[in-house]
């Protein structure tokens, strides 16, 4: 006896896992947004091998961060962290000065205390700079991975461009105070020159008037 053929009905995939659903997007993001070692290498650029070793071996000291401080952060494009760094450094230096010298007055001791506090704070910053840079790189890469998950080639270009370093801004900000000082000196020199000429003219006029007054 021949059994009747059973018809099989193909079941559609669950809507919860269909492309475009929230679950699908969440699963895709969970797989793609976390930065890989290749992503970090693209972001860092030329010094990638060095920084990857720092992060793998948890090395803490960063000489460029110690020597250049905020300029190193500008070079690495860490503008938000630079703002936090400037606020924290200013706050801490003023706290140290207020503790050591409650009554403010300008003296050599105050200058030495502020310089020592600055060096100590720079050393502390150098010890955490690698962690800060890694946090910055991961945050930027996650954002790009989330937006460009379906465009790997564009994603890689954007990661490299976002992590690109630049010397123009640090050099410009380093030279700017010097230029301001030069311009201020020139203006002050012109002002002093005018004051001297006025004084000379006044004395000449006084010397011409004095004999006339004596005669009269």
**φ/ψ bin of 34: left (φ > 0), alpha (ψ from -120 to 50), beta (otherwise):** beta
pLDDT digits 0-9 by tens, 65-102:
999 999 999 999 999 999 999 999 888 888 877 787 77
User: Looking at per-residue confidence, does 168 or 134 come out higher?
Assistant: 134
The Cα–Cα gap between 99 and 40 comes to 42
* pLDDT computed for residue 103 by the predictor: 67
pLDDT of 106 reads: 64
pLDDT of 9 strictly over 60? no
**Structural tokens at position 191:** 């002002």
Q: For position 24, what pLDDT does the model report?
A: 39
Q: Are 94 and 65 in contact (CB under 8 A)?
A: no
Burial 88-100, CB ≥16 within 10 A → b, else e: ebeeebeebeeee
7 or 97, which is more confident? Answer: 97
Q: Residue 212 — pLDDT band, cuts 50, 70, 90?
A: low
More confident residue, 181 or 213: 181
Crossing angle between the packed helical segments 37-44 and 48-56, to the nearest 10 degrees: 130
Residue range 100-112: mean pLDDT, rounded: 72
Select the more confidently predicted residue: 100 or 159: 159
The pLDDT, as a whole number, for residue 23 is 42
Helix/strand/coil for 9? coil
Output the pTM of the full model.
0.66
Residue of 14 and 197 predicted with greater confidence: 197
What confidence tier does 13 reach under pLDDT thresholds 50, 70, 90? very low
Tens-digit pLDDT profile for residues 23-61: 434 444 444 588 999 999 999 999 999 999 999 999 999
From residue 212, give the alpha-carbon distance in Å to each of 204, 205, 208, 216: 13, 11, 7, 6
């Amino acid at each position: 006896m021949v059994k009747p053929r059973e018809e099989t009905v193909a079941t559609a995939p669950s809507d919860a896992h269909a492309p475009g659903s929230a679950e699908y997007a969440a699963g895709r993001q969970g797989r793609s947004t976390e930065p890989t070692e290749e992503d970090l290498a693209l972001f860092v650029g030329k010094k990638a091998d060095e920084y990857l070793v720092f992060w793998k071996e948890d090395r803490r000291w960063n000489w460029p961060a110690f020597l250049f401080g905020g300029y190193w952060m500008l070079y690495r494009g860490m503008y938000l962290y630079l703002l936090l760094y400037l606020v924290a450094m200013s706050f801490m230096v003023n706290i140290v000065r207020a503790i050591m010298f409650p009554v403010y007055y300008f003296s050599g001791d105050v200058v030495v205390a502020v310089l020592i506090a600055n060096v100590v704070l720079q050393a502390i910053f150098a010890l955490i700079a690698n962690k800060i840079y890694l946090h910055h790189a991961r945050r930027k890469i996650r954002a790009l991975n989330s937006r460009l998950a379906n465009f790997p080639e564009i994603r890689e270009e954007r990661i490299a461009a976002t992590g690109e370093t630049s010397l123009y801004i640090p050099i410009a900000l380093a030279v700017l105070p010097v230029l301001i000082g030069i311009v201020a000196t020139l203006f002050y020199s012109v002002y002093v020159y005018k004051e001297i000429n006025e004084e000379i003219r006044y004395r000449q006029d006084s010397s011409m008037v004095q004999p006339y007054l004596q005669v009269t």
